[in-house]
A and B are shown apart, each in its own frame.
Chain A
Amino acid sequence: MRLVKITERLLAAIPLMLGVAIIVFLFMRMTPGDPVDIMMGQSGAVTAGEIERLRSEFNLDKPLHEQLLLFLGGVARGDLGNSFQRQQPVTRLIAERLPATIELALGALIFGLLVAFPIGVISAVKQNSAIDRLSMAGAFLGISMPSFWLGILLIMLFSVNLKWLPVQGRIGSDIQLQVVTGFYTIDSILTGNWPAFISSLRHLILPSITLGAAVAAIIARVLRSSLLEILRSDYVKLARAKGASETRTVMKHALRNAMIPTVTVLGLQVGVLLGGNMIVEAVFGWPGLGRLVVDAIFNRDFPLVQGAVMVYALTFILANLIVDVLYTYLNPKIEM
């Protein structure tokens, strides 16, 4: 039953993706600035013939609707075209960069959850205590602090002063790693390359903290407030009246219910983690999708921007689908 619904949802994503493709195509064409002009401006002396040649190579000389159809036809075949700037297939460029972005997003997510859960639970159970006030002040800081600032602070402290962790990159430059999936931590485990595993983990720590701080803060606050409400509910009173210990009452009866609103917020955060990490990638020299896309936007590299936006949209749809599936497990009142 669940599998059928999931398949249905995935099929429903197809028209959605088509809409996304059309919109991003049109928006890129509406943006001022011409890709060929920008390329030529960078390479210096050009002739009018050269410009014409490039225009026809990129199909920019064709009418808009023809360009759109060519693009959509490519999408249907799984071909996102070639990057104007890099002269390489967009799919390959994205495939090279996407694992780094996902790995960082997962690292940030894991960090965020590891921090948010204990803090959210403890500050709800000990409401208005010193711990609660301190954590909520910390959460406020986590939400308000710009990530580039937090990243620089962390680098200064842990990399420059204490020299505990590397400054930037995904893996030590002296380490050889055979790439299988593109996730360096997983690849190093698969190939049994432990020095590479340690190195990639160490490289992952600071960017994950930087990106995950806001997530940790938001989730801790949501978890705390929903737990506070639930701890006053009748069924928590019943759990106590049955003779359940305070730990069991909170961890089993209350937490499971508090997870329901928390997962909703978490689903939204996953989108932010994947699509909002350009700054963190820049601060830590992380070779992810974010920086590639920023460059592509500045260069009006239409195919690359279109491809990246579609990948973002797809991951967002998938993240929401996962949240919805989780939801049905958490809340028996909801069916997909």
Chain B
Amino acid sequence: MKSDASPILELRNVTTLFPTRRGDVRAVDAVNLALYPGQILGLVGESGCGKSTVLLSILGLIASPGRIDAGEILFDGRDLSKLPTSELRKIRGKEIAMIFQDPLSTLNPVFTVGEQIRESLRLHNMIGGGRLWPFDRARTAREKQRVLEVMAEVGIPAPEARYRAYPHQFSGGMQQRALIAIGLACNPKVLLADEPTTALDVTIQAQIVALMQRINREHGTGIILVTHDLGLAAEFCDHIAVMYAGRIVEIGRTDDVIERPQHPYTEGLLRCIPDIGRRRPIEPIMGNVPDLADLGPGCAFAPRCPVAQPICTHSFFRLQPVSGEESDAAAQRSGEVHMARCLRLTNYILPDASAQTNGGVP
């Protein structure tokens, strides 16, 4: 199926920099990703690993002085990273929409929820009617009709009454539904979801996930889901890319990544998922995310890695196919080919790594 379709959104060697006093911070470092129509791609990692920055880079929303330093972001045959802002604005919200993490702080407190959803339609002139005359009652009424449809679709009960409500009058789950409605209003081809369930109760989380799955199925909307929850990604995504310190360390089909993780970081994340059935103790990954301004030349995970070798701290490893076979770059970016970035996949002849506990981690 993937061989004949072309990706709807493709990132090639995208690098996003933030200049600081201590030098440039590469929040996103040569990231390759591809999203095919109707697919869900998970971007997983701890806070500060650059996964949200990937999403903001796609929409050109990196706050100055940060910038996209290299690479291409291909959407619909165009490189978004090179588009002028005026052109990019036509894509934001209409072709590619974004859902943020904290729904309460993301909704504007002084406008009604309905108005905020309707604004998406108005900005992209989705309903049509004169662009110059903002007080067109009939047009507003048509837009409102569409807003009510979207509100009903995302499961906001009594949309007519909720249209006039303010964000603070909504519960957390309803706020997130409203945010999804804002994203969905223009029927975008791609939905970028930045930790959409993190701020919610567990029961509400499940509802929101189900809603996003339905949108994906019914509209064929491609979704990039950013989350720190590998368990959520496993349930929800077709492919998973694991990020660490701005780089993708492992990417593949969900089954491959979950069942046969190749990178020690992925293994660590999997061991962090609580398992109600088996009641085994959680094994945390020791240590913290490294300081991005102060990365060594080697594998960024080496200081926390239970199987690290001396060579890991000063050798750079490429992301390479787990099978060792050559494969085509497009398939690699999409995650069809299981890839990882680790010494264990290179041709170095190792002493029995798994038998040693080298990282100083018990």
| 12 A-B pairs with C-beta separation under 8 A | A234-B105, A235-B108, A238-B108, A241-B92, A241-B97, A242-B182, A243-B90, A243-B120, A248-B123, A256-B110, A332-B166, A333-B166
Task: Give, as a whole number of angstroms, the nearest-CB distance from A270 to chain B.
Answer: 23
Within 8 A of A (CB), among B183-220: none
Whether, in the assembled complex, B100 has its beta carbon less than 8 Å from a beta carbon of chain A, the answer is yes
- Mark A residues whose CB is within 8 Å of B: 233-235, 237-246, 248, 253, 256-257, 260, 330-333
Chain B 152-176 interface 0/1 with A at a Cβ cutoff of 8 Å (1 = within):
0000000000000010100000000
B123/A242 in contact, CB under 8 A: yes
Task: Give, as a whole number of angstroms, the nearest-CB distance from B84 to chain A.
Answer: 13
Known: A257-B109, A257-B110, A330-B110. A243 touches B92 (CB 8 A): yes
Within 8 A of A (CB), among B104-119: 105-112, 119
Bound-state Cα–Cα, A245 to B111, Å: 18
A332/B94 in contact, CB under 8 A: no
Known: A243-B94, A332-B168. A238 touches B124 (CB 8 A): no
Task: Specify the chain B residue showing the minimal Cβ separation from A257.
Answer: B110
B105/A242 in contact, CB under 8 A: no
B108/A333 in contact, CB under 8 A: no
Whether, in the assembled complex, B98 has its beta carbon less than 8 Å from a beta carbon of chain A, the answer is yes
Whether, in the assembled complex, B102 has its beta carbon less than 8 Å from a beta carbon of chain A, the answer is yes
Interface-central residue, A237, A241, A332, by most chain B CB under 10 Å = A241
Identify 10 new A-B residue pairs, CB closer than 8 A, beyond the known A243-B120, A331-B110: A234-B105, A239-B108, A240-B61, A241-B100, A242-B123, A243-B94, A245-B89, A253-B111, A332-B166, A333-B109
Interface-central residue, A242, A248, A260, by most chain B CB under 10 Å = A242
B110/A242 in contact, CB under 8 A: no
Bound-state Cα–Cα, A156 to B109, Å: 49
Known: A241-B59, A243-B94, A332-B166. A235 touches B119 (CB 8 A): no
Name B106's contact: one of A235, A243, A244 (CB within 8 Å).
Answer: A235
The 6 A-B pairs at the shortest CB distance, nearest first, are namely A243-B93, A242-B93, A243-B92, A235-B108, A234-B106, A234-B105
Task: Specify the chain B residue showing the minimal Cβ separation from A241.
Answer: B98
B59/A235 in contact, CB under 8 A: no
Task: Give, as a whole number of angstroms, the nearest-CB distance from A222 to chain B.
Answer: 17
Known: A243-B123, A332-B166. A234 touches B102 (CB 8 A): yes
Bound-state Cα–Cα, A256 to B124, Å: 22
Task: Specify the chain A residue showing the minimal Cβ separation from B105.
Answer: A234
Task: Specify the chain A residue showing the minimal Cβ separation from B108.
Answer: A235
Bound-state Cα–Cα, A157 to B32, Å: 66
A237/B100 in contact, CB under 8 A: yes
Instruction: Tell me the count of chain B residues lying within 8 A, CB to CB, of chain A.
Output: 29
Chain B 104-142 interface 0/1 with A at a Cβ cutoff of 8 Å (1 = within):
011111111000000110011000000000000000000
Chain B residues within 8 Å of A330, by CB = 110
Chain A residues within 8 Å of B94, by CB = 243
Task: Give, as a whole number of angstroms, the nearest-CB distance from B214 to chain A.
Answer: 22
Bound-state Cα–Cα, A238 to B117, Å: 11
Bound-state Cα–Cα, A245 to B61, Å: 12
Task: Specify the chain A residue showing the minimal Cβ separation from B110.
Answer: A256
A235/B123 in contact, CB under 8 A: no
Chain B residues within 8 Å of A243, by CB = 89-94, 120, 123-124
B106/A332 in contact, CB under 8 A: no
Task: Specify the chain A residue showing the minimal Cβ separation from B107.
Answer: A235
Task: Give, as a whole number of angstroms, the nearest-CB distance from A336 to chain B.
Answer: 16
Chain A residues within 8 Å of B179, by CB = 238
Chain B residues within 8 Å of A248, by CB = 123
Task: Give, as a whole number of angstroms, the nearest-CB distance from A33 to chain B.
Answer: 53
Bound-state Cα–Cα, A183 to B110, Å: 36
Task: Give, as a whole number of angstroms, the nearest-CB distance from A114 to chain B.
Answer: 23
Known: A234-B106, A235-B109. A242 touches B119 (CB 8 A): yes
B123/A244 in contact, CB under 8 A: yes
Chain B residues within 8 Å of A234, by CB = 100, 102, 105-106
Chain A residues within 8 Å of B102, by CB = 234
Within 8 A of A (CB), among B69-88: 85
Chain B residues within 8 Å of A239, by CB = 108
Chain B residues within 8 Å of A245, by CB = 89
Bound-state Cα–Cα, A260 to B102, Å: 22
Bound-state Cα–Cα, A239 to B106, Å: 9
A242/B107 in contact, CB under 8 A: no
A332/B92 in contact, CB under 8 A: no
Bound-state Cα–Cα, A187 to B250, Å: 79
Bound-state Cα–Cα, A291 to B12, Å: 74
Bound-state Cα–Cα, A257 to B167, Å: 14
Task: Give, as a whole number of angstroms, the nearest-CB distance from A183 to chain B.
Answer: 33
A241/B110 in contact, CB under 8 A: no
Task: Specify the chain B residue showing the minimal Cβ separation from A333.
Answer: B168
Chain A residues within 8 Å of B92, by CB = 240-243
Bound-state Cα–Cα, A142 to B335, Å: 61
Interface-central residue, B102, B107, B109, by most chain A CB under 10 Å = B109
Chain A residues within 8 Å of B106, by CB = 234-235, 237-238
Task: Give, as a whole number of angstroms, the nearest-CB distance from A155 to chain B.
Answer: 43
Chain A residues within 8 Å of B97, by CB = 241-242
Bound-state Cα–Cα, A248 to B93, Å: 15
Task: Specify the chain A residue showing the minimal Cβ separation from B91.
Answer: A243
Chain B residues within 8 Å of A253, by CB = 108, 111
Bound-state Cα–Cα, A253 to B109, Å: 9
Bound-state Cα–Cα, A244 to B92, Å: 8
Bound-state Cα–Cα, A241 to B112, Å: 18
A332/B93 in contact, CB under 8 A: no
Bound-state Cα–Cα, A330 to B110, Å: 7
A235/B105 in contact, CB under 8 A: yes
Bound-state Cα–Cα, A235 to B182, Å: 12
Task: Specify the chain A residue showing the minimal Cβ separation from B182.
Answer: A242
Chain B residues within 8 Å of A237, by CB = 61, 100, 106
Chain A residues within 8 Å of B109, by CB = 235, 257, 331-333
Interface-central residue, B89, B110, B112, B168, by most chain A CB under 10 Å = B110
Interface-central residue, B112, B119, B166, by most chain A CB under 10 Å = B119
